[in-house]
Amino acid sequence: MKKRNPEEFLMQGNEAIVAGALKAGCRFYAGYPITPATEIAELLSVKLPGVDGTFIQMEDEIGSMGTIIGASLAGVKSMTATSGPGFSLMQENLGFAVMAEVPCVVVNVMRSGPSTGQPTAPSQGDIMQARWGTHGDHPMIVLSPSTVRECYDLTIRAFNLAEKYRNPVILLVDEVIAHMREKIILSDREEIELYERRKPTVPPEWYIPYEDTPAGVPAMADFGSGYRYHVTGLIHDVRGFPTSRPDEIGPLIMRLFRKISQNLVDIQQAEFLATEDAEIVIVACGCVARAAKRAVGEARAMGLKVGLLRPITVWPFVRSALEKVLATSRSVIVPEMNMGQLSREVKRVNQGRAKVFTLNKVDGTMITAEEILDRIREVA
Percent of the chain with pLDDT over 90: 96
> Could you give the CA distance from residue 347 to residue 52 in angstroms, rounded to a whole number?
48
Kindly report whether the peptide bond that precedes residue 246 is cis, defined as omega within 30 degrees of 0.
Answer: no
Top pLDDT among 2 and 285 is at 285
252-262 pLDDT per residue, tens: 999 999 999 99
Model confidence at 191, pLDDT cuts 50, 70, 90, reads confident
- For the chain, the residue count is 380
Q: Are 36 and 109 in contact (CB under 8 A)?
A: yes
> Could you give the CA distance from residue 40 to residue 81 in angstroms, rounded to a whole number?
7
Q: Are 83 and 111 in contact (CB under 8 A)?
A: yes
Establish whether domains 8-185 and 269-379 are of one fold.
Answer: yes
Q: With a cut of 90, say whether residue 377 has pLDDT above it.
A: yes
So what's the pLDDT on residue 187? Answer: 86
> From 3.40.50.2020, 3.90.209.20, 3.60.20.10, 3.40.50.920, which CATH number describes the 269-379 domain?
3.40.50.920
Q: Are strands 181-185 and 331-336 parallel, antiparallel or unpaired?
A: unpaired
Query: CB atoms < 10 A from the CB of 266, how many?
Result: 12
Model confidence at 284, pLDDT cuts 50, 70, 90, reads very high
The residue-averaged pLDDT of 208-216 equals: 95
So what's the pLDDT on residue 2? Answer: 53
244 exposed, middle or buried (CB, 10 Å; 0-12, 13-18, 19+)? exposed
117-170 pLDDT per residue, tens: 999 999 999 999 999 999 999 999 999 999 999 999 999 999 999 999 999 999
The residue-averaged pLDDT of 71-96 equals: 98
**Mind spelling out the 3-state secondary structure of the chain?**
CCCCCCCEEEEEHHHHHHHHHHHHCCCEEEECCCCCCHHHHHHHHHHHHHHCCEEEECCCHHHHHHHHHHHHHCCCCEEEEECHHHHHHCHHHHHHHHHHCCCEEEEEEECECCCCCECCCCCCCCHHHHHHCCCCCCCCEEECCCCHHHHHHHHHHHHHHHHHHCCEEEEEEEHHHHHCEEEEECCCCCCCCCCCCCCCCCCHHHCCCCCCCCCCCCCCCCCCCCCCCCCCCCCECCCCCECCCHHHHHHHHHHHHHHHHCCHHHHCCEEEECCCCCCEEEECCHHHHHHHHHHHHHHHHCCCCEEEEEECEEECCCHHHHHHHHCCCCEEEEEECCCCCHHHHHHHHHCCCCEEEEEECCCCCCCCHHHHHHHHHHHC
Q: Are 187 and 7 in contact (CB under 8 A)?
A: yes
Name the nearest CA neighbour of 368 among 288, 283, 298: 288
Query: CB atoms < 10 A from the CB of 340, how many?
Result: 16
Residue 346's identity, in one-letter code, is V
Model confidence at 6, pLDDT cuts 50, 70, 90, reads confident
What does CATH list as the number for 8-185? 3.40.50.970
Average pLDDT over all residues of the chain = 96
Q: With a cut of 70, say whether residue 244 has pLDDT above it.
A: yes
Q: With a cut of 50, say whether residue 1 has pLDDT above it.
A: no
> Could you give the CA distance from residue 269 to residue 348 in angstroms, rounded to a whole number?
19
226 exposed, middle or buried (CB, 10 Å; 0-12, 13-18, 19+)? exposed
Q: Are 357 and 379 in contact (CB under 8 A)?
A: yes
320-330 pLDDT per residue, tens: 999 999 999 99
> Could you give the CA distance from residue 82 to residue 88 in angstroms, rounded to a whole number?
10
* Domain ranges within the chain, ordered by starting residue: 8-185, 269-379
pTM of the model: 0.96
Residues whose CB is less than 8 angstroms from the CB of residue 366 and which lie 6 or more positions away in sequence, other chains included: 122, 176, 287, 288, 291, 337
Model confidence at 190, pLDDT cuts 50, 70, 90, reads confident
